[in-house]
Amino acid sequence: MPVLNERAYLERAVQSVLEQELDGPAEVVLALGPSTDGTDEIAERLAATDPRVRLIANPEADIPVGLNLAIRAAIHPTIVRVDAHSELEPGYTRRALATLAATGAANVGGVMRADGRTPFQRAVARAYNSPIGLGGGAYHSGGAAGPAESAYLGVMRRAVLDEVGLFDETIRRGEDWELNLRIRRAGYRVWFDPALAVTYWPRERWSRLARQFRSTGTWRGELVRRYGRRNSLRFFAPPALVLLVLIALVVGLLQATGVLAGTAALAASVVYLPLVAYALLVLGYACSRRAGPGLRERLWTLVVIPTMHLAWGSGFLIGAARGARENVDTSRLDRNTPLP
């Protein structure tokens, strides 16, 4: 479990791991980044009260670096990746181990069940769980069990990780997708099991959500530069939306200044149609029961979904054009935390 500034979530995340019922021994390895919010004190208390909790330093704070440090420090043949911003459902690990054995897969993952504690966070969670929000990936919206492109978090065979080379430490976001690509290229199977579920707590503020999605999109653009069409088509929808918005702004400016007039202005107005359709789609979802029972949640939905799409899409275009260039996701950092 890589950890950075998770004071509000770490204890419950670790407790959900320690409460997993297993037939054999287990340990929890926390890779501690340079937190500034008191997270380390919580981690030290957890380690002092349960010998299964081990602490290692991750001074660079990068997730793939922390994951590799934790994996190398681990002593058991199966690796269960856990996010400090999540909680494992009861029976998760036992079920995952059974699925690994039954399918012969190298990595097994399930559903990210996003949840929230405030109207904003619940709006984000519902967007995560909806095909409208994150594009209908199986681990967001569910589906049938079977071979998969990637796995959320993942329960992995240590021997396969050692064979393919662990996580790529040059990739700060999307490292799980890239690892699973190498696992599949090596001839192993990645498996989706919808019976596996992990509760995930999204970002608590709009600014952090926007920074998270911009960084994630930037790194997806970098992965497209590296791996081309091995990336799913759904990853190209948000940047297409951003381009449509930019084109519409240019057309609107030309129409307002009279550069486009008459028939030409009317013909150019066709660019607005997909944006109107998108706005109606978001509005329709926000007005539906799927957006939640509360008015504040539904109003936040009108902000959250476009923020996710436009931040991700603009980041993607930057990453695809010039590469990620060591882009850092600052959404987990306190204002006074220095960048690594």
Edge-to-edge strands, sheet with 28-32: 2-3, 28-32, 53-57
- Rg value, the chain, Cα: 21
Residue 251 amino acid letter: V
State phi, psi for 169 to the nearest 5 degrees: -75, -5
DSSP output for 57-96: E-TT--HHHHHHHHHHH--SSEEE---TTEEEPTTHHHHH
Cα–Cα dist 44/53, whole Å: 9
338 CB neighbour count, 10 Å cutoff? 8
Give the span between the Cα atoms of 154 and 196, in whole angstroms: 10
Distance separating alpha carbons of residues 157 and 155, to the nearest angstrom? 7
pLDDT tens, N- to C-terminus, the chain (340 residues): 999 999 999 999 999 999 999 988 999 999 999 999 999 999 999 999 999 999 999 998 899 999 999 999 999 999 999 999 999 999 999 999 999 999 999 999 999 999 999 999 999 999 998 888 886 566 666 678 999 999 999 999 999 999 999 999 999 889 999 999 999 999 999 999 999 999 999 999 999 999 999 999 999 999 999 988 777 778 899 999 999 999 999 999 999 999 999 999 999 999 999 999 999 999 999 999 888 888 999 999 999 999 999 999 999 999 999 998 766 667 666 544 443 3
Q: How far is CA 318 from CA 15, 32, 84, 219, 242, in A?
A: 39, 30, 29, 9, 11
Q: How far from the centroid of its chain's Cα atoms is residue 288's Cα?
A: 25
The answer to whether 35 and 5 have CB atoms below 8 angstroms apart is yes
Helix, strand, coil distribution of the chain in percent, nearest 5 = 55, 10, 35
- The per-residue pLDDT for 334 is 54
Q: What is the pLDDT of residue 230?
A: 72
CB 336 within 8 A of CB 38: no
Q: What is the pLDDT of residue 338?
A: 41
Cα 268 from Cα 123, distance rounded (Å): 35
What is the pLDDT, as a whole number, of residue 187? 96
What's the fold here for domain 2-205?
Spore Coat Polysaccharide Biosynthesis Protein SpsA; Chain A (3.90.550)
- Token output for 76: 């058991």
Closest C-alpha among 212, 190, 205, 97 to residue 139 = 190
According to the model, what pLDDT value does residue 327 have?
67
186 Cβ partners below 8 Å, 6+ apart? 160, 163, 164
Backbone φ and ψ of 34, nearest 5°: -80, 75
Q: Name the DSSP letter for residue 144.
A: -
Residue 51 CB contacts under 8 Å (≥ 6 apart), including other chains: none
CA–CA separation, 329 vs 173, rounded Å? 8
What is the rounded (10 degree) CA torsion for 198, 199, 201, 202? 60
Contact 89, 79 (CB under 8 A): no
